[in-house]
């Protein structure tokens, strides 16, 4: 028996709690461990333990600190309400008005936007690089828009073919109905067929809604996973940061940026794209739990777009790991080879599974027809 679809308020409440957990976790850790590290000794009027970035890039430090703190405060507030006992979102008479008013939705989006600004300010000490990070957000949106355009063009072609087939079927049914003489029997048969079609349509709609719910859930979980690891890796790059300004190096800059610049750039931009694309996907997923019957087709195709965006997101995360986890190109090639080996294993496993399942499908109708 098909299980009833859960109310959209319940699903949105659950994923708001997941998002709050993401933002609170990464913002809390970043607040105590600022990007660039801290001074290890008290020299030149500085105190040991103070953030390096506050002395080298004061305005950038203020942008990071207050955006990170705002993201933490905006989410910890309603996370306290989400968590029982005593949470105001435990009682449906309280959480439904709060969700329908979009107050929690706005707090979540503000927290995610502040997290993006904090990442752009804390992951680099150069204004030009911060601008490049926000250009990556535009690149992620362009990729999503391009995929959506491709899917919509394919959809229009399939819809025109389906409409033509449906018109031909209606013409045939009209000819058959005109040939029948008994009007009452014809109306009774149409009513029975209508009831069957209605029940069949409801079952199909419930199945489709459950499929979309599962896809939204997996996309949200993957987005949260990638955003959490990419945020921490961007603020704490591999190899650490310089602890003093000497020999042409500036305190707080990544060591890898000066020693192995090409490798650092691959890591930095791949990791930044993964983080920004994940935040964009998460924000695009939030409105999908709001009721709007006019946008069912848009929801269907945008989910496919976000699915491909998450795949690209995971691929760039693999690239950033291969570039940042070691200092030799030979080792990076080994890491990439391991990735392709795992993908090849899954491909072989899927092919073998499909090969085994096909004979069973062909034999099942024959076995059911036997007396």
Residues 209, 4: contact at Cβ < 8 Å?
A: no
| pLDDT at residue 266 greater than cutoff 80 | yes
Q: Tokens in use for 144?
A: 């999503």
Mean pLDDT for the chain overall: 74
pLDDT of amino acid 66: 92
CA distance from start to end of the chain: 28
Residue 153 host element (H or E): helix 127-179
* Cα gap 82→368, rounded to integer Å: 51
* Average pLDDT over every residue of 29-46: 81
* Cα gap 204→88, rounded to integer Å: 35
pLDDT of amino acid 101: 65
Confidence bin at 355 (pLDDT 50/70/90): confident
| pLDDT at residue 216 greater than cutoff 70 | yes
Residue 308 has, within 13 A of its CA and on its CB side, a CA count of: 15
| pLDDT at residue 292 greater than cutoff 70 | no
Among 15-24, 92-101, 185-194, which range has the highest average pLDDT?
Answer: 15-24
| pLDDT at residue 370 greater than cutoff 70 | no
Q: Tokens in use for 323?
A: 């570039």
Q: Tokens in use for 355?
A: 């090969």
Say whether 254 sits in a helix, a strand or coil: strand
> In the chain, what percentage of residues exceed pLDDT 90?
1
Residues 115, 279: contact at Cβ < 8 Å?
A: yes
Which residues are CB-contacts of 234 (< 8 A; sequence separation ≥ 6)? 119, 122, 123, 268, 271, 272, 275
Confidence bin at 175 (pLDDT 50/70/90): low
pLDDT of amino acid 323: 85
| pLDDT at residue 100 greater than cutoff 70 | no
* Cα gap 366→113, rounded to integer Å: 58
Asked whether the CA dihedral 216, 218, 220, 226 is positive or negative, the reply is: negative
pLDDT of amino acid 156: 60
Which residues are CB-contacts of 37 (< 8 A; sequence separation ≥ 6)? 51, 52, 240, 241, 243, 252
Instruction: Point out the least confidently predicted range of 58-62, 127-131, 271-275, 354-358.
Output: 354-358
* Cα gap 26→71, rounded to integer Å: 10
pLDDT of amino acid 1: 44
Predicted TM-score of the model (pTM): 0.70
pLDDT of amino acid 107: 77
* Cα gap 21→13, rounded to integer Å: 13
* Average pLDDT over every residue of 241-258: 80
pLDDT of amino acid 368: 47
Q: Considering only residues 115 and 87, tell me which one the structure prediction assigns the higher pLDDT.
A: 115
Confidence bin at 150 (pLDDT 50/70/90): low
* Cα gap 331→308, rounded to integer Å: 29
| pLDDT at residue 371 greater than cutoff 50 | no
**Cβ atoms within 10 A of the Cβ of 300, count?**
15
Confidence bin at 190 (pLDDT 50/70/90): low
Phi, psi of 181 (to 5 degrees): -95, -30
pLDDT of amino acid 293: 46
**Cβ atoms within 10 A of the Cβ of 33, count?**
14
Which residues are CB-contacts of 33 (< 8 A; sequence separation ≥ 6)? 235, 236
| pLDDT at residue 181 greater than cutoff 50 | no
> In the chain, what percentage of residues exceed pLDDT 70?
66
Of the candidates 4, 3, 15, 51, the one whose C-alpha atom is nearest the C-alpha of residue 31 is: 51
Per-residue pLDDT tens digits for 103-143: 777 777 788 888 888 888 888 877 777 788 878 777 766 76
Q: Considering only residues 338 and 10, tell me which one the structure prediction assigns the higher pLDDT.
A: 338
């Amino acid at each position: 028996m098909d299980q009833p679809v859960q109310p959209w308020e319940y699903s949105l409440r659950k994923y708001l709690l997941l998002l709050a957990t993401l933002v609170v976790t990464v913002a809390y850790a970043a607040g105590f461990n600022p990007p660039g590290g801290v001074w290890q000794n008290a020299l030149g009027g500085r105190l040991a333990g103070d953030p390096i970035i506050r002395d080298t890039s004061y305005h950038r430090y203020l942008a990071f600190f207050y955006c990170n703190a705002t993201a933490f405060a905006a989410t910890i507030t309603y996370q306290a309400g989400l968590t029982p006992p005593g949470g105001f979102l435990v009682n449906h008479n309280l959480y439904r008005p709060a969700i329908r008013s979009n107050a929690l939705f706005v707090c979540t989006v503000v927290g995610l936007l502040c997290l993006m600004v904090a990442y752009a300010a804390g992951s680099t000490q150069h204004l030009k690089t911060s601008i490049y990070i926000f250009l990556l957000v535009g690149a992620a949106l362009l990729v999503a828009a391009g995929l959506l355009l491709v899917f919509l063009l394919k959809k229009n072609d399939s819809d025109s073919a389906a409409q033509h087939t449906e018109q031909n079927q209606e013409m045939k049914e009209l000819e058959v109905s005109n040939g029948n003489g008994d009007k009452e029997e014809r109306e009774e048969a149409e009513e029975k067929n209508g009831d069957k079609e209605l029940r069949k349509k409801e079952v199909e709609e419930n199945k489709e809604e459950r499929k979309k719910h599962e896809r939204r859930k997996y996309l949200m979980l993957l987005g949260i996973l990638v955003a959490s690891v990419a945020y921490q890796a961007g603020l704490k790059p591999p190899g650490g940061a310089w602890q003093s300004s000497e020999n042409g190096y500036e305190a707080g800059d990544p060591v890898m940026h000066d020693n192995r610049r090409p490798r650092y750039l691959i890591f930095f931009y791949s990791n930044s794209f993964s983080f920004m694309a994940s935040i964009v996907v998460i924000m695009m997923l939030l409105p999908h739990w709001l009721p709007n019957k006019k946008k069912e087709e848009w929801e269907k195709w945008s989910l496919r777009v976000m699915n491909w965006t998450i795949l690209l997101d995971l691929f760039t995360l693999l690239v950033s790991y291969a570039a940042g986890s070691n200092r030799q190109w030979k080792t990076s090639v080994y890491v990439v080879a391991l990735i392709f080996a795992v993908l090849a294993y899954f491909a072989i496993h899927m092919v073998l599974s499909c090969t085994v399942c096909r004979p069973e499908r062909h034999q099942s109708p024959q076995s059911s027809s036997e007396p």
